[in-house]
Every structure is written in structure tokens, then in C-alpha cells.
Chain A
Amino acid sequence: MNRNTMKRVFSALGTVASVGAVGLLVYSSSAAREPFTKQELADQEKALLAAVDHGRDLWHGSLPSMSTNGLACGNCHPDAAASNPHTFPKYQADLGRVISLRDMINWCITVPQGGKALDVNSADMIAMEAYAFYLYRGTKIAPGLATEQTPPVVVEGGVGYSKKGSGVGYDRESTGENR
């Protein structure tokens, strides 16, 4: 890019910036509001949680095509534990390449469960992903390797369980240390 070209680009950018600034002033003086209303945010959260709920059902065997041997994701990954969504993409030894969480979900469906893979862009796959990521929300993203098994960080429910442990062992849920 020569100097004249650069000059023209900066000039153009300046014009765009000026127009944008004026636009912002007009917008902010006439529409000083949050990007979304509380109702809109509630609706969005409701939609997300509906996907999470659907993912939870799928995780526990609600779609028969995902398994031919009775096993569901929840058999090995209760509360999505050890699914480690925050570590994807990463190298999967059985496939010999770096894969996404969606690829890993389909590997589990087709190999240990002997089922039919989900369309990677389907609503069902997004729901599966939503469930796993939702339980791991707040976890530091660490693509590449899972060096240890990790449970989900949020464990809701537990109704009826003792909130005070016996003093033996250490349970983050019963001591209220979970987020």
C-alpha cells in the first residue's frame, strides 16, 4: 500500500468514524436504553435453558438412535463430568486429529454407544453442546489437553441431601463451596 493509497484509506475511515460518531450521538440522545430489555433477556435465557434441558434429556438417552446398546452419555459422564468441553478443540488419539467437542460427542455416540451420529449442525447437537458448556460455565478455557478428570462446576439440585457432611471426606456441594 503506497502513501497516497494509505492517505485515501485513512480519509475514508475518518469520514466513516465521523458519521458513526454523529450516529451514536443521535442514537444515544434519543434511545438511551440497554441493548435488550429485561423481558428480552429473560426470553433469551429461557431459550438457552430450553436447549440445555433438551441436551440433558439427550445426554440421558431420550433419542433412541444415539445408542444401540442401551448406553447413554450420562453412563460415563454424570453431570457431564469428564466430558471437559472447555478443553476442545484437542487431539483425539482414536481419530488421530484435532477435533471439536461436537466431533467428540459423535465419537462417543458411534463408538461406545454404537449409535447413529448427530448432524453436527443440528438442534440436537447444539443442545448437547449447550448442556455440557452450561454445566462447565465459569471454567477457564483450556484447549489442547485434559490432564485430569474434571466434574462440572455447577451442581444444582441435591434436594434432600444433608447440607452438613459427616466431617469425613470433603464435598464441595454440601459445604456450599460450589458456585
Chain B
Amino acid sequence: MEDLKSFGRRNFLTISGKAGLTTLVASTVGVNFGMVKVAEAAMGPGKVSAFRFAILTDAHLFSFPDHKFDGFLADAVDDVIKMKPDIVFYLGDIAQNGKEDQLAKGKKILSKLTMPMKVIPGEHDWYLDMGAAWRGHFGNPTWSFDHKGVHFIGMNSILVRDFWTPAGLSPKQRMDTMEMLESPIAGPWGVREEQLDWLRKDTAKLDPDTPIVVFTHSPLWDYYPRWNFQTEDAPDIRGILAKFSRVMAFHGHVHQTVYNRIGNLSSVGTLSTSWPWPYPDVQLAYPQMRMHRSDPGNFKDGEGSQYIDLEANFNGTMHYNPFGDMLTPAMKNGFVI
């Protein structure tokens, strides 16, 4: 655990990969990973100095020049800048096919952000070269840091068992397999034991009243396993985090608004900047958080960004910030996380 104020541009990306995960030196070209205004010292457990953070995710950039998704991400970046968050979190799937040029393009578009950004990977970023290019651009996928009294955690939740070696698949075939949402070949995703160990160590000495915010690409609950709207070892993650009074979890991947609560953990899905996924046939505990059906003739409908306002008592308000008008009344003016 480190405090954000301790880090300069170069180190920002490599915060906290302490559990033995390879830490590659990250390129910082073009992206503002600078320091944020931080955190008063002397805040007791559970005390938060109110601030705002924003989330972008799932741009799914193709290699085509001037692809429509490039513009959607750029528009969402502009929207986020207007919201003036302290930090921006990117929750995976910058690329569509895991190609280096797609990651580089995303990084360039995101470099317009005027505030620091932390990134975790999605499966579309990872399985062409097993994360090599992603790490080169964005550093360690497992990190934590403190900001204004909140302990932020990011983990790589898209790790699958090796299905490609026994099948003799090429890297591209492996990537193609992972690109299909409904492909059962790869099996369930998870953070796996190495990151679970890291999480245990990272949180071991934290006071139970410490406000915790955790980011993963996939949800930390069984939403719809066939589409990997799940994380296989989410029960272990929730177990490790069970000692804390309150945990807020945010995830990408689902390309839709969705909300759930499990014990001390609130789980919030996020809007993509590419396309909306349909809702699976699952009874939701909070159906009012399902967005309206998007208009297929409006390519930006059902997409956007989001920001979260945290208050001093660690109450949080979720604000979806869609390009189009697709929020239900329960979400229009934000909702308590």
C-alpha cells in the first residue's frame, strides 16, 4: 500500500505489485500519470476527504484508422474532463484484438486526460501476447494505493486456465477464442491464487473501517457465467474483503448499467464506449438499475462514461454519464452505491 502523493509520473504505474507479479517498467509517453492533489495526512480510519473519481472502460478499439469507436472514446474523455475527477480508472478492453497498435491508439486518446489514470486489463487486451504489450504500455495489472482516505485496489480478473497449449492454438487463435463473449472453450475467468495472496497481504494490516474501492474487469458476483459476467474466485475475494465495514466494487465487461449488493460489498457495472451488451435473462435484485434498450440506429446510444462522488463518511453516489438518454428514473440523478 502506498500513498498516491509519493509517486511521480514514472512510478505511478507500478504501484504496489508486491506479491511477486512481474513489474515491467511502463512507458509513460503521452499519458498524464502525474500526481493528484492529495490527501490530507491525519485522517483516521474510515474518514474520507470528499472527492470525485471517474471510470472509462471497454473502448474495444480496432486497428482501422478513424474507426467510430476512436471518436466515442475521445468524446467520453472530453465528458470526463468536464467532470473534474481527481483520478480516472480504466477498467479494461482498450483493444479489440489485443494488438499493440490498438493499445497505443487508446493510450494516445486517453492522454488528453488532465488527471492521473490507473488501468486494469480486459481479455481483449491480453490474450494475443499474454499481456506483454499491455504491460509495456500500462505496467502492472495488480495495484493498490491510497487517496484521500480510500484504499483503491485493481486486479486482473480475466485469467483463464491454459486451453490453448493442449489444443495447439496459435496466439491469434487464442485471442480469437477469447474475443467471443459466449465461447465456453476458455472457461471461467478469475484473479487466481497469486493475486489472492497479494490481496491478503495488501489488506492484512488495514483497519476494518478503511474505505475500500476495488476494480476488476469482470463482476465480483455470479451474474451470468456463460458470458463471463462473473469472476470464478470472487467468493475468495469477497472473503478476504469481508473484514471491512464497506467495500465498493466497480467492473467493466458488461457494457451496461447494473448494480448488486452482497454483504458488505456493493457492485456496480459500467457503460462502455463501444456498444451495449443486452441484459442476460437473470433476475436482478435491483432491476431499476437496468438501462433502457438502446436504439441500434444511434451508434452512441447505450454507451458513455461515469463518475462517482465520495463523501466524508464513505457514502458514494454513482452517476452514469451516457451519450444518449437511456437512464431509468432511479439512475437519472445518481444513486447511492
Q: How large is the interface on A (under 10, 10 to 19, 20 to 34, 35 or more residues)?
A: 35 or more
A111 proximal to B (CB < 8 A) = yes
Docked pose: A161 CA to B279 CA in angstroms: 19
Docked pose: A89 CA to B20 CA in angstroms: 58
Contacts known (A70-B96, A81-B278); A171 close to B296, Cβ less than 8 A: no
Segment among A44-52, A121-129, A143-151 that sits at the interface with chain B: A143-151
**Of A70, A76, A161, A169, the contact of B284 (CB 8 Å cutoff):** A169
- Is the beta-carbon distance between B184 and A161 smaller than 8 angstroms? yes
**Of A70, A71, A75, A173, the contact of B225 (CB 8 Å cutoff):** A173
- Is the beta-carbon distance between B278 and A82 smaller than 8 angstroms? yes
Docked pose: A34 CA to B202 CA in angstroms: 69
B42 proximal to A (CB < 8 A) = no
**Of A112, A168, A172, the contact of B281 (CB 8 Å cutoff):** A172
- Is the beta-carbon distance between A69 and B67 smaller than 8 angstroms? yes
Chain B residues whose C-beta falls within 8 Å of the C-beta of A77 in the assembled complex: 278
Chain B residues whose C-beta falls within 8 Å of the C-beta of A155 in the assembled complex: 182, 226
Q: How large is the interface on B (under 10, 10 to 19, 20 to 34, 35 or more residues)?
A: 35 or more
Chain B residues whose C-beta falls within 8 Å of the C-beta of A148 in the assembled complex: 293
**Of A162, A165, A168, the contact of B188 (CB 8 Å cutoff):** A162
Segment among B79-87, B227-235, B305-313 that sits at the interface with chain A: B227-235
A78 proximal to B (CB < 8 A) = yes
Chain B residues whose C-beta falls within 8 Å of the C-beta of A173 in the assembled complex: 224-226
B283 proximal to A (CB < 8 A) = yes
B41 proximal to A (CB < 8 A) = no
B280 proximal to A (CB < 8 A) = yes
A-B contact number at CB 8 A: 109
Give, as a whole number of angstroms, the nearest-CB distance from A84 to chain B.
10
- Is the beta-carbon distance between B296 and A162 smaller than 8 angstroms? no
**Proximity string of chain A (149-163) to chain B, C-beta cutoff 8 Å, 1 when within and 0 when not:** 111000101111110
B250 proximal to A (CB < 8 A) = no
Contacts known (A69-B64, A93-B297, A171-B282); A78 close to B222, Cβ less than 8 A: no
Q: Which of B67, B182, B275, B277 has its CB near the most chain A CB atoms (within 10 A)? A: B182
- Is the beta-carbon distance between B276 and A150 smaller than 8 angstroms? no
Chain B residues whose C-beta falls within 8 Å of the C-beta of A165 in the assembled complex: 222, 225
- Is the beta-carbon distance between B180 and A171 smaller than 8 angstroms? no
Chain B residues whose C-beta falls within 8 Å of the C-beta of A82 in the assembled complex: 278, 293
Chain B residues whose C-beta falls within 8 Å of the C-beta of A150 in the assembled complex: 281
Docked pose: A94 CA to B184 CA in angstroms: 35
**Of A71, A76, A168, the contact of B276 (CB 8 Å cutoff):** A76
Give, as a whole number of angstroms, the nearest-CB distance from B313 to chain A.
26
Give, as a whole number of angstroms, the nearest-CB distance from A156 to chain B.
8
A116 proximal to B (CB < 8 A) = no
B9 proximal to A (CB < 8 A) = no
* Nearest B-chain residue to A167, judged by Cβ: B222
**Of A69, A70, A112, A166, the contact of B296 (CB 8 Å cutoff):** A112
Give, as a whole number of angstroms, the nearest-CB distance from B94 to chain A.
15
- Is the beta-carbon distance between B285 and A108 smaller than 8 angstroms? no
Docked pose: A112 CA to B300 CA in angstroms: 11
Contacts known (A74-B181, A112-B296); A69 close to B226, Cβ less than 8 A: no
* Nearest B-chain residue to A71, judged by Cβ: B275
Docked pose: A78 CA to B296 CA in angstroms: 15
- Is the beta-carbon distance between A172 and B278 smaller than 8 angstroms? no
**Proximity string of chain B (24-57) to chain A, C-beta cutoff 8 Å, 1 when within and 0 when not:** 0000000000000000000000000000000000
Docked pose: A94 CA to B282 CA in angstroms: 30
A60 proximal to B (CB < 8 A) = yes
- Is the beta-carbon distance between B225 and A162 smaller than 8 angstroms? yes
Q: Which of A77, A94, A149, A174 has its CB near the most chain B CB atoms (within 10 A)? A: A149
Docked pose: A43 CA to B16 CA in angstroms: 60
Docked pose: A75 CA to B221 CA in angstroms: 23
Give me 16 A-to-B residue pairs in the complex whose CB atoms sit less than 8 angstroms apart, sorted by A's number: A69-B67, A74-B180, A78-B278, A94-B297, A108-B296, A150-B281, A157-B182, A160-B188, A161-B184, A161-B226, A162-B232, A165-B225, A166-B221, A168-B260, A171-B224, A172-B282
Question: What would 20 more interface pairs be, CB under 8 Å, given A162-B232, A172-B282?
Answer: A69-B62, A69-B68, A78-B278, A82-B278, A111-B297, A149-B293, A151-B279, A157-B226, A158-B225, A158-B226, A159-B187, A160-B187, A161-B230, A166-B221, A169-B221, A169-B260, A169-B283, A170-B282, A171-B223, A173-B226
The 4 tightest CB contacts between A and B, nearest first, are A160-B187, A157-B184, A82-B278, A78-B181
B-side interface residues toward A, CB under 8 Å? 62, 64, 67-68, 96, 161, 180-182, 184-185, 187-188, 221-227, 230, 232, 234-235, 260, 262, 275-285, 293, 296-297, 299
